Amino acid sequence: MIKTDMTYQDIVYKDTVYKDSVYQKIGLTGRVLGALFYCEPDSAECRDIVVQLRNGAWAAEWPYGGADELMPIATLFAAAQSDQYQSIAHQSAAAPLAETLEEAWQRLFIGPYALPAPPWGSVYLDKDMVLFGDSTLKLRNWMQQRHVEVTLKQQEPEDHFGLLMMMAAWLAEHQPVDLPVLLADHLLPWSYRYLALLQSDAGHPFYQGLAQLTTLTLAHWQHELQVTPAGVELYR
């Protein structure tokens, strides 16, 4: 059973041995990053993670990437230190509006307006770019075959990027034999495109940094597990 309500302490303070295991590193980073995409930044799941990312100390402990790659990302997180940030999406010479991190999350992941980078796989993998598309059903069938269950807060597609990152973490810790298939068939084929859109259109340094850190992390997962993403056509 995949939980979406882990606290920062639950996620991070298992680091005495994770650096020596490919799967333990995936478990840690997948839970941290997945929570940041799926949960509100001021939620119990994310609040402490956000604080750690903003203060910069995380970069020395992150298991992937060198200082030359991580420090620019840390700079983006630090730029979001203030409770309010002048969002690119909200800039106006006549009436500039300040945007909190929580407001940025709402704009990027909930709405009410069109999302600049929708976080659901079927938007990219299905010709009609709809939710609950054929690719979602394929993921659901695979989950049933592999006895993978996820607790959802509401009825929503299972192919939400944050959920898939947490699913990858759970598989790394409980069913590692199934992890390469999840990555190759259901996550990696569209995730780099999604993250590129998020980085370019987020309009907020925290989520620009999150997109960069997640791209870097996924590339290391792919390399360490020697996963080749399925060749598919992307429609967005």
Domain extent listing, the chain: 8-224
Higher pLDDT, 172 or 5: 172
61 CB burial (10 A radius; 0-12, 13-18, 19+)? exposed
Taking phi over 0 as left and psi of -120 to 50 as alpha, with beta for the rest, 116 belongs to alpha
Measured CA to CA, the distance from residue 25 to residue 221 in angstroms comes to 9
- Name the pLDDT band for 7 (thresholds 50, 70, 90): very low
pLDDT beyond 90 at 2: no
pLDDT beyond 90 at 138: yes
- Name the pLDDT band for 233 (thresholds 50, 70, 90): very high
- Name the pLDDT band for 224 (thresholds 50, 70, 90): very high
Which residues on adjacent β-strands are paired with residue 100? Answer: 84
Q: What is the residue-averaged pLDDT of the chain?
A: 87
Measured CA to CA, the distance from residue 85 to residue 21 in angstroms comes to 38
pTM as predicted: 0.87
- Name the pLDDT band for 14 (thresholds 50, 70, 90): very low
Higher pLDDT, 14 or 190: 190
pLDDT score at 52: 94
Which segments of 56-160 does DSSP mark as H helices, in order? Answer: 67-79, 101-109, 122-125, 134-145
Measured CA to CA, the distance from residue 104 to residue 199 in angstroms comes to 13
pLDDT score at 10: 46
Q: Which CATH number fits domain 8-224: 1.10.3720.10, 3.40.30.10, 1.10.287.1040, 1.10.3480.10?
A: 1.10.3480.10
pLDDT score at 97: 44
Q: Which tens digit of pLDDT belongs to each residue from 48-95?
A: 999 999 998 899 999 999 999 999 999 999 988 755 555 544 444 333
% of the chain with per-residue pLDDT over 70: 85
